[in-house]
Amino acid sequence: MRKGYRSVESERTEDEVLRRLYRGLRERRLPQDVAVDLVELRADRWLSAAGVRDLYGLMHRARAWRTAQDAGEIVDGTIGSSMPQAWRRHPGLARAYAAATTAMAVVAAAVGESVPAADPADPASLRAWLGWALRLLGLPDEEPRPARPTVRRRPVPVTWYGGTYHRLPKPSGARGDRGGHVDARKRMDAATRRERLPGVSVRAYRRAVRAVLHLQQRTGVLAAERDREAAVAFGKTRLAHLVTEEEFMACPATAAFTAYYVARLNMRTTFTSGSQARPMDSLAEALLEGALASPTCQPRVLASVLTRWRVLDMLSDAECGELLGRYYEQMAACARALRRCFDVNRDRLRMVVRAGDDSSTWNAASRAFNQARTGWLNLTRSLGYDDLVEASCPGKVPALVAADVAAWHAREGHDQHIDVRVWAELPLPWDVVLGDADCPAELVRQVCRRHGVDPETSGWTQPYQQDLTELPEPAPDLVHGVTVSSPLLASIMRRAGVYSGQA
């Protein structure tokens, strides 16, 4: 009886750990945090001797931060991080939607219609609602000018008696510019309004027009933010957000690898002139072997974060086809974000951040685009769709390098990566993905050979493969990419708001 009681308690503890690991898929947990949970999960049951050594070694390093936390030097609830643990997300347009709904209720009541409902956090739902409102108000349904200016303003020098400083010029636009809203002449005239909207005063009609057009403009901003959020999430966690809790908890070995690998993917970049840490380390390899050997292995969960052929071979063609579509949808979302923030006047051979560049969106979208492209290439090879890649092979997108890092590279005698020269001669990748340009694989091979690049091993026409396996190391505490060795200093700097420009 007592033995059975212990068994129930152990199962309850295992379920609690698995649920904690599952919640971590949507957070930004550190590898050492996950390692502590894996020890509690008794992951050494399916690990090799080397894997057990790596797991306990990482856990022992995390205990130093645990000691500092118990001493009050770390103020948050994580081990070894004072950085935010949640992703930033646009809250939606509840206020603008409520104002537009209230204004439209007066107009709809005059014609005997009811105001439909919409989700103020979903751009597609809002656009359907706007189609109804614009039709009722007699306004064109064309997209307005973006609320955020697309023409980047460059700082201009201003000289005064005390010296010279630089400032951004005032935005261009005539007096009375409506900021992208529909022209007043496109509204219904008085006779048409009395005929189509009897009983609606001109004041109520114009109030509804202003509220609806404001909501339409803000919906474009919300759609852009959703694409950016999708790029950030996919670039760091792949398709982990699509994994259900039942699938995740069905196999502890699969859950252990997925949680640890997502934590490795979530590691922040460091300020360095060398390469960043790769996500796959020796502990992740050992956890993957244990997951693949488990009798309850969940290959769909593994394939959501890792598209190696060993994993894809365990899926059916229908499951691979579904993943293929999802990876292409991610590429399309990233392509839209890249197209919006690309300066058509940029020298594509000089991928260095300039004043006015939205480098945060660009780097997040380019990282996610390249990761989705690698998964898409893996899936096409797994399904035997080589002809698809031969007909259309979008190129890779380089990141924007900070000017100080570029100067650091130049000081050490390094040039920009050779891939930048290849990308500069190929059609824009987002045009290829969105169907506005053609880029066959043979064209990619020709450009690669012209610059002395192997298109197969460098990931241009074949899926990119990590060339080395990292050793397990705890993620450092960073401030703008620079390691902070003192937990107390890190917590003080967090309270001061010195983290990615956000208080």
Encode pLDDT of 189-221 as tens digits.
889 999 999 989 999 999 999 999 999 999 988
pLDDT confidence of residue 147: 55
- Which comes out higher in pLDDT, residue 366 or 10? 366
pLDDT in tens, 306-350: 999 899 999 999 999 999 999 999 999 899 989 988 988 888 998
Prediction pTM value: 0.75
What angle do helix axes 252-265 and 2-24 make, rounded to 10 degrees?
Answer: 30
Q: Please state, rounded to an integer, the average pLDDT across all residues of the chain.
A: 82
Q: Hey, where are the domains in the chain? A: 94-168+178-226
**Cα gap 225→29, rounded to integer Å:** 23
Tokens of 246: 């039942």
Q: Is the pLDDT of residue 115 over 90?
A: yes
**Cα gap 373→375, rounded to integer Å:** 5
pLDDT confidence of residue 344: 86
pLDDT in tens, 31-68: 888 998 999 999 999 999 999 999 988 887 766 655 55
What angle do helix axes 202-237 and 94-110 make, rounded to 10 degrees?
Answer: 140
Q: Is the pLDDT of residue 470 over 70?
A: no
Q: Is the four-CA dihedral 335, 338, 344, 348 of positive or negative sign?
A: negative
**Buried b or exposed e, range 146-184, using 16+ CB within 10 angstroms:** ebeeeeeeeeeeeeeeeeeeeeeeeeeeeeeeeebbbee
